[in-house]
Amino acid sequence: MTNLDVRSARPDQLVSSDKGQWEIIVGLEVHAQVTSNAKLFSGASAAYGGAPNAHVSLVDAAMPGMLPVINKFCVEQAIRTGLGLNAQINEKSRFDRKNYFYPDLPQGYQISQFQMPIVGEGEIEVEPDGEDPIKVRIERLHLEQDAGKSIHDLSPSETFVDLNRAGVALMEIVSRPDIRSAKEAAAYFNKLRAILRALGTCDGNMEEGSMRADVNVSVRRGGTKEWGTRCEIKNVNSTRFMMQAIEYEARRQIEILESGGSIDQETRLFDANTGATRTMRSKEDAHDYRYFPDPDLLPLVIEKKWIEEIRASLPELPDAKKKRFISEYGLTPYDARVISSDSETSAYFETVAKGRDPKMAANWVTQELAAALNKKGLELSASRVKAEALGALLDLVKDDTINGKIAKDVFAKMIETGDAPGAIVEREGLKQVTDTSAIEKAIDELMAANADKVEDVRKNPKAFGWWVGQTMKATGGKANPAVVNEILKKKLGV
């Protein structure tokens, strides 16, 4: 596999110990649930939730004589995803049986793809925060059916099985081992999630298990090219846990190797409570699953014309959107990347920015709004402040109805109540004071009470900020800052 290794870690990514430096090698197998109304091989609902075993057809339950029928829409979604990953679409692919026994897999095998996947090699560009972009190669994307769910905590002596998820379509997206740090792994996963959400092929809801990753980790001495023995960490469902798991697993392997031991190839689980990984089982090789072509499903043959029709229907993806936001709106590369990484955020921003200062719109979306939603633990879709309302707030600032400080106070009330900004300003008497006579009166009173500071500011211009602050305080924060600065300079002679 050394021919796959075309990238070495940067010096700052090497892990140092008393016995030398080590390089972390990471590859991800991401399981993304296909956005579809029905399952991969049956007409049963693929909706999340529902009463136990309410979304189960005779095919899902593996009743005798029941045969799978491919869901064409799931195939289309896989092709769409492959095109979004700049990957090769294989015009001929095949479904195989992956044989293993588990109670929530009624057939005793999983229908998957092994030697002939629907999508071949591709790549995506990843931008970890504060670092140069990297290319992560995609090895393959294949379709497979999900298993059900075993429930162990309802009885001390019995295990319950819910087959609602059994047969739901999954895309397994396998990367090459091109990732060299926990930070890069998280950036890759987030970029992949952004692409899938933009394509509409997976909702990326990690809390519901719609997107999760198996993380392969190995280590090797810095500067060497030989592969280390990898361990697979199963079903990691958040980027924070992914980073913790990679860092812990790398340290564990380094400690074993430096003490003279060897790494066992195995499957491990990550414990979010302890931040540690633990052994689940010895790692299976492909032959352990006894793959063979599924005799109930013909090879999948895809016409070039259909592929091109799907390609023509692709939406604007994050990389293209980022470039457009920089050229069209003049955003910084950082703001453009943050906003373009989520299709919902992108649409929200463009509504706010329409006919307004785009940089101001970007600041409010990425800072004030993002911070408020994060504090409440809300997604953008659940925000009480819709894009049109935030745009209306910026209009009130632009036409000098309110100043920037008051705008933040109004926004805080909008987040809590959902009320329109204009209504809040009228109700609470927050209109900006632009009457120069009222501002001049406040300044005259300040000067009379602080005669010593008048002379001081003329000798020390840095003291001017004190006068601005005191004037704003005297006017209840409602004075127009530009007018305050102008009058103060005139009256103080600075």
At how many degrees (to 10) do helices 436-449 and 464-474 cross?
A: 120
* Residues 15, 247 contacting (CB under 8 angstroms): no
Residue 283, pLDDT score:
64
Q: What is the pLDDT of residues 30-54, one digit of tens each?
A: 999 999 999 999 999 999 989 999 9
The tokens describing 97, both together, are: 């049986």
Q: What is the pLDDT of residues 222-255, one digit of tens each?
A: 989 899 999 999 999 899 999 999 999 999 999 9
Q: Residue 345: phi, psi to the nearest 5?
A: -65, -40
Handedness of CA 114, 118, 120, 123 (dihedral sign): negative
Neighbouring CB atoms inside 10 A of 381's CB total 8
Q: What is the pLDDT of residues 156-203, one digit of tens each?
A: 999 999 999 999 999 999 999 999 999 999 999 999 999 999 999 999
* Residues 138, 174 contacting (CB under 8 angstroms): yes
Q: What is the pLDDT of residues 366-409, one digit of tens each?
A: 999 999 999 999 999 999 999 999 999 999 999 888 888 889 99
The residue with tokens 């979306």 is 365
Q: What is the pLDDT of residues 103-146, one digit of tens each?
A: 899 999 999 999 999 999 999 999 998 788 999 999 999 999 99
- Alpha-carbon span 449 to 461, nearest angstrom: 19
Which of 54-63, 437-446, 454-463 comes out lowest in average pLDDT? Answer: 454-463
The tokens describing 353, both together, are: 């920015």
pTM over 0.75: yes
CA-to-CA separations, 155 to 64, 152, 159, 300, in angstroms, rounded: 30, 7, 7, 43
CA-to-CA separations, 93 to 118, 119, 300, 308, in angstroms, rounded: 5, 9, 5, 18
* Residues 23, 8 contacting (CB under 8 angstroms): yes
Query: Which three-class secondary structure state does DSSP give residue 56?
Result: coil
Task: Kindly provide the b/e burial profile for residues 161-173, where b requires at least 16 CB atoms within 10 angstroms of the residue's own CB.
Answer: bbbbbbbbbbbbb
Neighbouring CB atoms inside 10 A of 373's CB total 18
Q: Residue 302: phi, psi to the nearest 5?
A: -115, 130
The residue with tokens 């989520």 is 342
- Alpha-carbon span 246 to 225, nearest angstrom: 20
Mean pLDDT of 205-223: 93
* Residues 211, 31 contacting (CB under 8 angstroms): yes
Q: Where along the chain do its domains lie?
A: 2-309, 314-427, 436-492
The tokens describing 61, both together, are: 């339950």
Handedness of CA 239, 82, 141, 196 (dihedral sign): positive
The residue with greater pLDDT, 84 or 132, is 84
Does CATH number 1.10.1200 belong to domain 436-492? no
- Alpha-carbon span 450 to 458, nearest angstrom: 13
- Alpha-carbon span 35 to 269, nearest angstrom: 27
- Alpha-carbon span 207 to 49, nearest angstrom: 12
Instruction: Band the pLDDT of 27: cuts 50, 70, 90.
Output: very high
Is the pLDDT reported for residue 482 higher than 80? Answer: no
- Rounded to 10 degrees, the C-alpha dihedral 37/42/47/53 comes to 160
The tokens describing 83, both together, are: 């095109």
Residue 2, pLDDT score:
40
- Alpha-carbon span 38 to 55, nearest angstrom: 10
